[in-house]
Amino acid sequence: MLEARLEQANLLKKVVDAIKDLVQDCNFDCNDSGIALQAMDNSHVALVSMMLKSESFSPFRCDRNIALGINLGSLTKVLRCAQNEDILTLKAEDAPDVVNLVFESAETDRISEYDIKLMDIDQEHLGIPETEYAATITMPSAEFQRICRDLSALSESVSIECSKEGVKFNCQGDIGSGSIHLRSHTNVDKPELNVEIDLTEPVSLTFSLKYLVNFCKASGLSNQVKLCLSNEVPLLVEYALSNNSYLRFYLAPKIGD
């Protein structure tokens, strides 16, 4: 059986909120290392990969591998019934028909309990090759969100160019063009504002802004976001969570003109 207790319901609320517009029905794969989710969007352009390590829960118990097939719309409805600060416990039997969610308020004695019916989801699992990326940019997640939002007003695509000069986000649209240039930057007092660029070779890739704007819904999960790029491979956008847990998005590049 599975029993996983989260100190704050907020974490799961934010994760589900960040991915629910990209993917609808997903398997939450539970085993003794934690709860993982991998799902591709319908157009096969973006992939969500979530890992909530067992250390992110206290306690965490999962004796056998269990796949919980959940509709994220249904999960959202139920998670809305939880206060952000509620303690959340996920429970399921070994061959479950439902997943049980218990929300406990630390301040009052209120305990609420919900069951969500599970679905049989036959999902293709993708092998993601270990990649030594040519460029890794770590930057404030709010800054990345702003760049994506600003440029999406002008164009459908953004080119991300990384060189010794820094990183440049460029777009061209019907009304004109825009570009934002960032350099490495260290703020001793506010390290969450740091921009770190780790480059082994110059990179230039083009991506759909619609998807990037969507990924940025995860900005509330982490102050910083990591962008990993290599020429001609999908972009990795990573929001690191506590205890080595993470929410990652992969986005296939655009090619040619």
Site for another protein in 47-66 (CB under 8 A): 47
By CB under 8 A, tell whether 124 contacts another protein.
yes
By CB under 8 A, tell whether 176 contacts another protein.
no
Q: Identify any residues that bridge with 66 across adjacent strands, giving them in sequence order.
A: 30
Q: Which is nearer to another protein, 43 or 108 (CB)?
A: 43
Q: Which of 34, 96, 140, 253 binds another protein (CB under 8 A)?
A: 253
Site for another protein in 24-43 (CB under 8 A): 40, 43
What is the number of other CB atoms lying within 10 angstroms of the CB of residue 54?
A: 19
- The strands making up 235-240's β-sheet, listed across from edge to edge, are 66-71, 25-31, 34-40, 46-53, 246-251, 235-240, 224-229, 135-140, 196-199
By CB under 8 A, tell whether 233 contacts another protein.
yes
Residue type (1 letter), 147: I
- The secondary structure of 1-38, three-state, reads CEEEEECCHHHHHHHHHHHCCCCCEEEEEEECCEEEEE
Q: Which stretch binds another protein (CB under 8 A): 9-17, 87-95, 123-131, 184-192?
A: 123-131
What element of type H or E holds 75?
A: helix 72-79
Q: Which of 2, 12, 46, 52 binds another protein (CB under 8 A)?
A: 46
219 three-class SS: helix
Q: What is the DSSP letter of 95?
A: S
By CB under 8 A, tell whether 231 contacts another protein.
no
What is the number of other CB atoms lying within 10 angstroms of the CB of residue 231?
A: 12
Q: Which is nearer to another protein, 40 or 167 (CB)?
A: 40
By CB under 8 A, tell whether 95 contacts another protein.
no
Q: Which is nearer to another protein, 118 or 212 (CB)?
A: 212
By CB under 8 A, tell whether 156 contacts another protein.
yes
What element of type H or E holds 149?
A: helix 141-152
Q: Which is nearer to another protein, 169 or 250 (CB)?
A: 250
Taking the complex as a whole, the smallest distance from the CB of residue 87 to another protein amounts, in Å, to 36
Q: What is the DSSP letter of 198?
A: E
By CB under 8 A, tell whether 146 contacts another protein.
no
What residues make contact with another protein under the rule CB under 8 A? 40, 43-47, 124-129, 156-157, 206, 208, 233-234, 250, 252-257
